[in-house]
C-alpha cells in the first residue's frame, strides 16, 4: 500500500478520535456548534484532509474517500447525540428551577368580614326580598320636593323641624330619610308597588348613645288595591319575628305627614323602649302627588333605623361604637 494513502488514513482516524472526545466533552450547544464547524465545516479539518486526496491516483482515491465518509458520518452521529444530551440537560435544569414546592407553608391573609351595619342591612333586605319586595335605591342629595313637599310636609309646617336638615349652598339638601324614594319610585311605576329601599340619611342631630348625624335606614312601601292596616301590622310583625325570634315590641300611635294613621314600633332594650321604626298607611295626598287615585289604591310604608336594629340585635350599648372602626370591637361580629 502506498505511504500517501496510509498517511491520509492515519489522519482520518486521528480526526475521528479527537473529534469524538471533543464532542463528548462539549459543555454547551454553542460550543458544540463551534466543534461542528471546526471538524465538518467547509474550511474544517475534514475538508483539509480531503484536499490531500488530490495527490492520489484515481484508483487509490476510494480507499481514502470511503473512510472519509465513514468518519464524517460518525462525527455527525456524535454531534447529534451530544446535542440531544445537552438539550435534555437544559430542559431538566429548567424544570428543576421552576418547580413549585406545594408542601411549603403559604402566606396568611386574614379574611375580612361585613361590618355589623352592612350585615344587619343585608339581613333586613333578605327578609323583605323573601316577602316579595324589590330592592330600589335613590340619591342622597335631594330637593325639598322629594324630601318634604311630595311627602305632604306643608311649607312652614312644624313637622319639618322634626328632622333637622342639612342644606347645601345650591338649595338642595342631604336627604333626612329614605322616604324620598317612595315618591321617586311611584312617579315612574304603576301599582302594585312593593319596594324595599336601603340608604344613608343625614340629620343635624347631636350625637349621643342613640343618635348619629349620619345613619342608615331601610324604607318599605306597598301600594295596591285593598291594602289595610292589618297588612302593615302583619308585615312588620313577621319581619321582626324573622329578625329577632321572640321579641318584646309595642306599636305606639304617632304622627308623620306622609302617613295616616301613623305608628312607631319600639323594642324592649336594656330596660327601656328603643324606637326602631316608623310606619303607617300612605297618606292620600302622597298618592295624589304621584298621580295614583287614592280611591282605588291604598298602601302602607315604614322606615327602619338600621343602627337601632343592629344595637338591639348585637346588644350594643352605644351607637358610636359602630362608627369607630375599632377592630377589637368589629372582630366580634
Residues found near ligand DAH in the complex (CB under 6 A): 177, 179, 219, 256, 259, 278-280, 301-303
Distance CA 332, CA 283 (A): 42
Cα–Cα distances (Å) from 143 to 181, 220, 249, 301, in that order, read: 12, 21, 35, 21
Task: Report, in Å, the least distance between residue 148 CB and ligand DAH.
Answer: 11
DSSP β-bridge partners for residue 303: 219, 278
Calculate the dihedral angle through the C-alpha atoms of 322, 326, 329, 332, rounding to the nearest 10 degrees.
100
12 SS3 class? helix
Q: Which is nearer to ligand DAH, 196 or 301 (CB)?
A: 301
Calculate the dihedral angle through the C-alpha atoms of 53, 56, 58, 61, rounding to the nearest 10 degrees.
-50
Q: Which is nearer to ligand DAH, 78 or 215 (CB)?
A: 215
Using an 8 Å Cβ cutoff, are 82 and 20 in contact?
no
Q: Which three cell numbers stand for residue 135?
A: 330592592
For CA atoms 78, 79, 82, 84, the dihedral sign is negative
Task: Report, in Å, the least distance between residue 329 CB and ligand DAH.
Answer: 27
Distance CA 48, CA 37 (A): 13
Task: Report, in Å, the least distance between residue 177 CB and ligand DAH.
Answer: 3
Q: Which is nearer to ligand DAH, 183 or 243 (CB)?
A: 183
Task: Report, in Å, the least distance between residue 147 CB and ligand DAH.
Answer: 10
Q: Which is nearer to ligand DAH, 75 or 302 (CB)?
A: 302
How many Å is the maximal CA-CA distance in the chain?
Answer: 134
Task: Report, in Å, the least distance between residue 223 CB and ligand DAH.
Answer: 12
Q: Which is nearer to ligand DAH, 212 or 259 (CB)?
A: 259
Q: Which is nearer to ligand DAH, 161 or 326 (CB)?
A: 161
Task: Report, in Å, the least distance between residue 318 CB and ligand DAH.
Answer: 21
Using an 8 Å Cβ cutoff, are 36 and 23 in contact?
no
Residue 64: CB partners within 8 Å, gap ≥ 6? Answer: 5, 8, 9, 12, 53, 56
Task: Report, in Å, the least distance between residue 269 CB and ligand DAH.
Answer: 18
Q: Which is nearer to ligand DAH, 45 or 147 (CB)?
A: 147
Q: Which is nearer to ligand DAH, 68 or 232 (CB)?
A: 232
Task: Report, in Å, the least distance between residue 325 CB and ligand DAH.
Answer: 25
Which one-letter DSSP state was computed for residue 254? E
Amino acid at each position: 500500500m502506498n505511504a500517501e494513502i496510509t498517511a491520509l488514513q492515519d489522519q482520518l482516524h486521528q480526526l475521528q478520535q479527537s473529534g469524538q472526545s471533543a464532542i463528548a466533552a462539549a459543555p454547551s450547544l454553542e460550543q458544540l456548534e463551534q466543534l461542528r464547524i471546526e471538524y465538518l465545516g467547509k474550511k474544517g479539518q475534514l475538508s483539509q484532509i480531503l484536499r490531500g486526496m488530490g495527490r492520489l491516483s484515481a484508483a487509490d482515491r476510494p480507499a481514502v474517500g470511503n473512510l472519509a465518509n465513514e468518519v464524517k458520518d460518525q462525527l455527525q452521529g456524535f454531534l447529534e447525540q451530544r446535542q440531544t444530551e445537552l438539550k435534555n440537560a437544559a430542559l431538566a435544569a429548567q424544570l428543576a428551577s421552576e418547580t413549585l414546592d406545594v408542601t411549603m407553608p403559604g402566606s396568611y391573609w386574614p379574611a375580612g368580614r361585613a361590618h355589623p351595619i352592612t350585615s344587619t342591612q343585608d339581613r333586613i333586605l333578605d327578609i323583605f326580598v323573601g316577602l316579595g319586595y324589590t330592592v330600589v335605591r335613590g340619591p342622597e342629595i335631594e330637593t325639598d320636593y322629594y324630601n318634604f313637599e311630595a311627602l305632604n310636609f306643608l311649607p312652614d309646617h312644624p313637622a319639618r323641624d322634626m328632622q333637622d336638615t342639612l342644606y347645601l349652598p345650591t338649595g338642595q339638601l342631604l336627604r333626612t330619610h329614605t322616604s324620598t324614594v317612595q315618591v321617586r319610585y311611584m312617579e315612574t311605576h304603576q301599582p302594585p308597588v312593593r319596594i324595599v329601599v336601603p340608604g344613608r340619611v343625614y340629620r343635624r342631630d347631636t350625637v349621643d348613645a342613640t343618635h348619629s348625624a349620619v345613619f342608615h335606614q331601610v324604607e318599605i312601601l306597598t301600594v295596591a288595591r285593598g291594602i289595610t292596616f292589618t297588612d302593615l301590622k302583619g308585615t312588620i310583625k313577621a319581619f321582626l319575628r324573622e329578625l329577632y325570634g321572640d321579641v318584646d315590641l309595642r306599636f305606639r300611635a304617632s304622627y308623620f305627614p306622609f302617613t295616616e294613621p301613623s305608628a312607631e314600633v319600639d323594642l324592649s332594650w336594656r330596660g327601656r323602649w328603643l324606637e326602631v321604626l316608623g310606619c303607617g298607611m300612605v297618606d292620600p295626598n302622597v298618592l295624589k302627588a304621584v298621580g295614583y287615585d287614592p280611591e282605588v289604591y291604598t298602601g302602607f310604608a315604614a322606615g327602619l333605623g338600621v343602627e337601632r336594629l343592629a344595637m338591639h340585635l348585637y346588644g350594643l350599648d352605644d351607637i358610636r361604637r359602630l362608627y369607630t372602626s375599632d377592630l377589637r370591637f368589629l372582630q366580634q361580629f
